[in-house]
Structure 1
Amino acid sequence: MFSILFSAVTVAGAVLAFPAQPESRAAAAGVQLVGVNIAGFDFGCSIQGACDLTKAVPPISSLGGADGVGQMQHFSKDDGMNIFRLPVGWQYLVNNKLGGTLDAGNFGRYDQLVQACLKTGAYCMIDVDARWNGQIIGQGGPPNAQFTHLWTQLATKYASQEKIIFGVVNEPHDVPDIDKWADTVQEVVTAVRAVAKKQMIALPGNDWTSAQAMPTKSGPALLKVKNPDGTFDNLIIDVHKYLDSDNSGTHTECTTDNISNAFQPLATWLKANNRKAILSETGGGNTDSCKKYLCQQLNFLNQNPDVFLGYIGWSAGSFSSATYELSEVPTKNGNSWADSALVKACLTKPK
C-alpha cells in the first residue's frame, strides 16, 4: 500500500503441495495461513517507487522503530498466526545502487526482522516494492536482469529456509504490457528456482494486484509463468483487496465484503485453472463496519480453502496505533499485548 506508506511515515496448473502448517485459526477454519503485515522497511516509498531511505522506520525497537519482533511473537503465540509479510523497498536493500549487491548494513537490518519472523515458526514473506524511481521493470525502466540479480541474491540468502515465501513485487500498476510483465515475473521465477527449489513464490498482477481484476486482466498472462521443470508447484497468485468506498485502503469505514464482485469470481477462475491465491493485503479501520465486512470476506476465503491459501492483514509494524487508519498494531500492557478491535474480531484464533 504505497499511498498509505508515503504519508504514514510522517506520523511514525498443478495441484500444489504445501508443508504441514502450524495450528491456527486458518488451519481450524479453512485456509492454511493467517497473519499480518509488519511494515516499516518500506516507509518513504511513493506510489511511483521513489524511496526516501531516511524515512524507512525498521520495525525493530533497537533500530528506533516499533517492536515488530514482539508483535510477531505475540501474534504467533497468542493468536495462532502463522504468516507475516515483511515489505521492503528495493532501493533500501541495495542502498540506492541500481543493479548493485545487497547492502551489508541495510540488508543486515532487514534480515534481523526476517530471522525474528522465522524464529516464531511462521512463514515469512519477503515482498519488494515495485518500481525504481517511477520506472517500470522491463518496460522502459531497469532491465529484467537487474531485478533478477536482486532476487538471485535474496533467494541465495534464504535458499535453505523452507518457510520463506518470495513475493516478487508489491502492487504493480499502470503496466503498459501485461505479457511483458509476465515475462519479467517468469525471469524472476527462473532465477529464484536456480537456487531455491521449493519455496513458495507469490506472483503479482497489474492493477495494484487487484483480486477483482485478476481473472480477466493479469491472470491469463500470469498463468503462463512456470517453474523451469514445466510445473506450477508453489507458484501462488498474489492478490490484494480493500473494503472501503474507493478500494484505496485509506478510510476507516468499510462498505463491502468484496465477495460477489471479487472473491467469488476469483475463486471460480482459480478452480477452473487449478491454481491457488494468497490475499497478502487486506484490512480496514477498527470500526463496526469493517469488523462486519472484513469478517464476512475472510469467512468466504475460509470456505474455499481449495483455492485460497490464506490472508494477511494490513498492517502492524512501525505504524502508529493512535493515528494510522488501518492500524493492526497491538498495544503492549506490561508483559501482555492487546489486539486492535479488527484483529480481535476477524484475524485471531478462536478461544
Structure 2
Amino acid sequence: MFSTLLSIIALAGGTSAFPAQTDRRAVNAGVQFVGVNIAGFDFGCSIQGACDVSKSVPPLSGLGGADGPGQMQHFSKDDGMNIFRLPVGWQYLVNGKLGGTLDSGAIGRYDQLVQACLKTGAYCMIDIHNYARWNGQIIGQGGPDNSQFTNLWTQLATKYASQQKIIFGVVNEPHDVPDINKWADTVQAVVTAIRGVAKTQMIALPGNDWTSAKMMPTKSGPALLKVTNPDGTFDNLIIDVHKYLDSDNSGTHTECVTDNISDTFQPLATWLKANNRKALLSETGGGNTDSCKKYMCQQLDFINQNSDVFLGYIGWSAGSFSPATYELSEVPSKNGNSWTDSSLVKACMTKKN
C-alpha cells in the first residue's frame, strides 16, 4: 500500500474456499488480464499526494531509468501478460501547476512509456498516483476542487480518446477521505469528463481505505455503485481494488501471511455478483519468498476461478525499482537478449504455462 513512498527510501539506500493450488497451470487459467505495474514516473510522490518531480525515475533507459519498454516486451512475449499499469504523479504531468495544462515535455516523456506499452498489444492503465490528494489536501474535500481534477482528466482523455486499449485509472489509493459520498461525487465528475471525449474505454473507480478490496463491499462500494456513465449505464466502469498479503496489508514486508480469500476476495466476489459489477485488482504483491509464492498463488488461483467478476490482476512492481533494495521487486533481470523473471512472478503471475 505504501510502496511508492518506500521506494524512494529503497532507491536511496487463511483457509481457501477452493483447494490450494500453486501449479502455474491452475494459476494461469481464467481471467482476462494479467500484468505488472511499470513504476518510476511516480517516484517522489508521498502518501499525502506531494510529488517531488525531481525524484521521478522514468522507466526509460534514455532518461536514466530502467528499460521499461524492454520489460513490457518481455512480459508480453515470454509471459503472456496483456496489461500494464503506468503510475505517474499529477504534479509531474502539469509541472507543479494545479489546474494547469499538461506540460509538453512531461507528457511527451510519459507518452513514450504509454506508446511502448501500446506497441506490445497490451492494455495500458494510466494511473494518477496521488492518493486522492494534491500536496496533502483531498480532492473535492478542502483541497483541489473537482473541476481542477477533471481538467487533468479531460486533457488525458482527449489525448488518448482514439486508443481503445487505454484504461483510465482515476487516482491511486484514496485514504482517510472523510466523506465517501462526496468522494463518489468526485469520481462521478471524472467519469463524466472522460466520457465527454472518450466514450467507451474502461475507467477504474477507486474507493477509500487505500482502494481496499476488503473494505469495498461495505464501505466504499455502496457509494461507488451510484457512479454511472452519462447515459445512466455502468458499461466499462470497473471497480478498482488493491490487496497485499503481508502482516499489516501494507505491502512493505517480504513475507506473506494470508491468501486473502475468506476475508477479502470471497466476500468481494459475492458482492460483485450481487450487483452485477466487475473488479480489477490493480495492485498486489509480495516478496520473492516461499511464503509469498504459496499465498500469492492461492490468492490468484481463487481470482482466476472467479473470472466472471474479476477481470484480472496487476503485480506491484517492475519498472525503475532496484531488485537489490526493493522488497516487492518484480523487475526481471536481463542477460544479453534474455530476461529472467523474479521468483514470485515466475511462480504465480505469468499467463502462459
Shorter-chain TM-score bucket reads: over 0.9
Question: 2:111, 2:264 → 1: CA distance?
Answer: 35
Structure 1 segment 27-46 matched on structure 2, within 5 A? 29-46=29-46
User: Does the 8 Å CA contact 2:27/2:297 hold for their aligned counterparts?
Assistant: no
Question: 2:258, 2:294 → 1: CA distance?
Answer: 9
C-alpha deviation, 1:6, in angstroms: 2.2
1:165-223 alpha-carbon deviations (Å, 9 max, x no partner): 00000000000000000000000000000000000000000000100000000000000
C-alpha deviation, 1:348, in angstroms: 1.2
User: Does the 8 Å CA contact 1:9/1:56 hold for their aligned counterparts?
Assistant: no
User: Does the 8 Å CA contact 1:26/1:33 hold for their aligned counterparts?
Assistant: no
Q: Which has the higher contact order (CA 8 A, sep 6+)?
A: 2
The secondary structure found in structure 1 opposite 2:87 is strand
Question: 1:4, 1:169 → 2: CA distance?
Answer: 15
Structure 1 segment 1-351 matched on structure 2, within 5 A? 1=1, 3-12=2-11, 29-129=29-129, 130-351=132-353
C-alpha deviation, 1:31, in angstroms: 0.6
C-alpha deviation, 1:7, in angstroms: 2.9
Question: Which sections of structure 1, spanning at least 5 residues, go unmatched?
Answer: 13-24
Question: 2:9, 2:100 → 1: CA distance?
Answer: 29
With 92-101 and 127-136 compared, the bigger mean Cα shift is at 127-136
Name the CA shift for 1:27/1:309 in 2 (closer, same or farther; >3 Å).
Answer: farther
User: Does the 8 Å CA contact 1:26/1:310 hold for their aligned counterparts?
Assistant: no
TM-score (norm 1): 0.95
TM-score (norm 2): 0.94
* One-letter identity of the residue aligned with 1:110: Y
Name the CA shift for 1:38/1:225 in 2 (closer, same or farther; >3 Å).
Answer: same
Give the % identical residues. Answer: 85
The secondary structure found in structure 1 opposite 2:34 is strand
Q: Tell me which stretches of 4 or more aligned residues in structure 1 moved more than 2 Å.
A: 9-12, 25-28
How many residues get paired? 339
The secondary structure found in structure 2 opposite 1:169 is coil
Question: Which sections of structure 2, spanning at least 5 residues, go unmatched?
Answer: 12-24
C-alpha deviation, 1:8, in angstroms: 1.6
User: Does the 8 Å CA contact 1:319/1:329 hold for their aligned counterparts?
Assistant: yes
C-alpha deviation, 1:125, in angstroms: 0.2
The secondary structure found in structure 1 opposite 2:36 is strand
Question: 1:97, 1:259 → 2: CA distance?
Answer: 42
Question: 1:349, 1:138 → 2: CA distance?
Answer: 39
